[in-house]
Each structure stands twice: as structure tokens, then as C-alpha cells.
Amino acid sequence: MALIIDCHGHFTSEPAEHHTFRRSQVAFAEARSAERPIYSPIPDRELHEIIEANQLAIQKERGSHVTLLSPRASGMGHHVPGVAIAEEWARISNDNIQRIVEMFPDNFAAVCQLPQTVDGDLSPVIAELERCVENGFVGCNLNPDPSGGRWSAPPIYDEWWDPLWTAMIALEVPAMIHVSGSCEPCLHTTGAHYINADTAVFMQLIQGDLFERHPKLKLIIPHGGGAAPYHWGRYRGLSIMLEKPGLDEHLMNNLFFDTCVYHQAGIDTLFRVVDNKNILFGSELLGAVKAIDPETGHPFDDTKRYIDQLGLSEPERHAVFEGNARRVYPLLHKRLQDRNL
């Protein structure tokens, strides 16, 4: 059976108690509370019911089969102080994802949150990534701006990041580039900060030599690649001005975009500009835009509908909906094979 793999899903339907704990944890981290809270795991039955009524129901309704599920991106909160807090929160968040995947093994595969901090110690980041891969995770979300809009981290091509790239390659996991919440009032989290970061990282990759140094590294820029596909000429020109190779050679053997673009014209442009081999189906299921488009009568984030209108050939459809994801996420491919999917 041909599969439709959604490379971009989040656990955004957490119960109220989960959010209450996080608020208390942040208050403790920021020294607004002297009491460190203790997390009470979501009961199995409640977690099962939440997923069945939300992510799983929408998955079935819209016709996809497997969703790569990660913790709520805006909730990663890497700007919150303290490595120990970041480690605890990442472990709690990732353990919830693992439990969901164990409950619905044919419907979800796990992608992890990393315990990044503004201080930038990569040792606990790599340790959590290794723990998660040992527990069956197939990828990770990487925040290029743990400061939440202040951009204090080195650019993505800087050698400071190399230990993480080396670990990812050894573990055979790609990273989706995904910032968390915005700390800047002028940057709306999902409408500005997310798209800005996607675009900024694309330009950073043009400026640097990351993939020349790490030719086996694979990165996914979500939300349709930010502004990149829609200003492709600008970036081609800047690449020439910086005396870099053409974008196809310089970036596009290692870089991929998802289809989290919420109107037909945007999807049309993405597929006209970017090679089919570099596009993975994604919907950001239960993510940024939970609204009905009055022009179509359908949810904005039902991105499969837009792709269905493109008139792709069967090989093209297979690549976007399944083949590319299996190639970019080799541990996902192995997991699906083991499950006869």
C-alpha cells in the first residue's frame, strides 16, 4: 500500500495539567518560585483519548497514514534559563511522544525536542538525542535561535555546531529547523518568528560551507522554506555575489522543504521553483493555523488538498508523499519496513 507520510506534526493537544506544570517549572527556573514542581505523567487512558480525538481523527479524515510527531514547537522554550530545566522539560516532552507512538505504532513516528539553552552547551543536547534514538525516535527538531528572537546563537554554518552535526550523521537522523516561541513583542511566534527563522537559516546556509564539511547531513526547513522559494532569484543572485556554487550544488543535495503552505498559489509556486526531490509532504497537523478558509470551506492546514490539485504524475506524487520522507529519514524507513508498511 502506498503511504502518505506527514513529516510535520506536533502534540498540541496536551491536557491543562501539562501546561500548569510547565508554568510552575518556568517560574522556578526564573526564581519567581522557590518550589520545584514534580511532573505527574498524563494517564494512559487520557493520553489515548486525546490523540484519538485529535491528531488521529484528523489524520484519518484528511487521508494521511503516518505522522512524524514531535512536542509542541512553540512550547520548547529554549530561552528559559538553566540546563537542568531544559533537560527535564525535553525528557518529559519526548517521553510523551514515545508513549503516543507506542499506543499508535502504525500511525505515528517520533521526532524529539532537544534541551537547547541560550548558554549553548551541546553536550546535553547530544545526550538526549542519543537517548531518543535508542528509544526509537527517527529525527529531531533543531532550534537555530534558542534566545527566542534575539539571535544570540552562532549561525548554523559555524563550526560551533559541528559536534551536533557529527552526532546526527552517526545516528542517521535529520533535523527539522524549527524555532520555539518568540520573546519579542514585534515578532508574532507563528506568523513572523517561524517564517523569519526559516528564511534566515536558508541565507546562512548560502553564506557558509556546512554541507561541504558535512556531506551526509540532512536538514528540513519547514513552512515551505520560509520566504526562500518565493524569492529564489534573490538567493541565486546573492549566491553568485558571494562566489558560492549554484544553489542546486551548494544546498539542494542536503536541504529539503515541507509543504506547510496554506494556500494553493503558494503550493503552486513551491512546486514550480523547487525540485520535486526536495519536497516532503507536511501539514503541521494541529499547528499554527486552526481555521477554515472562507474561500474554500476547508481548513487552511489541509495541505494535501493543494497538492492533489497540482496534477503530479504518480512517480512525483509517490516522492512527495512517501519516497522522499523514507530517503531523508532512514530510521523511519527501517521502522516502516519492520512494520510491513
- Residues known to be catalytic: 284
Query: 3-class DSSP state for residue 15?
Result: coil
H or E stretch including 324?
Answer: helix 324-328
Q: What is the DSSP string of 141-201?
A: EE-S-TTSSS--SPPTTSGGGHHHHHHHHHHT--EEE-------TTS-IIIIIHHHHHHHH
Separation between Cα atoms, residue 54 and residue 254, nearest integer Å: 33
Please say whether the beta carbons of 132 and 94 come within 8 A.
yes
Inter-CA distances, 25 with 33, 103, 112, 149, Å? 9, 27, 20, 22
Separation between Cα atoms, residue 4 and residue 319, nearest integer Å: 10
Phi, psi of 5 (to 5 degrees): -105, 120
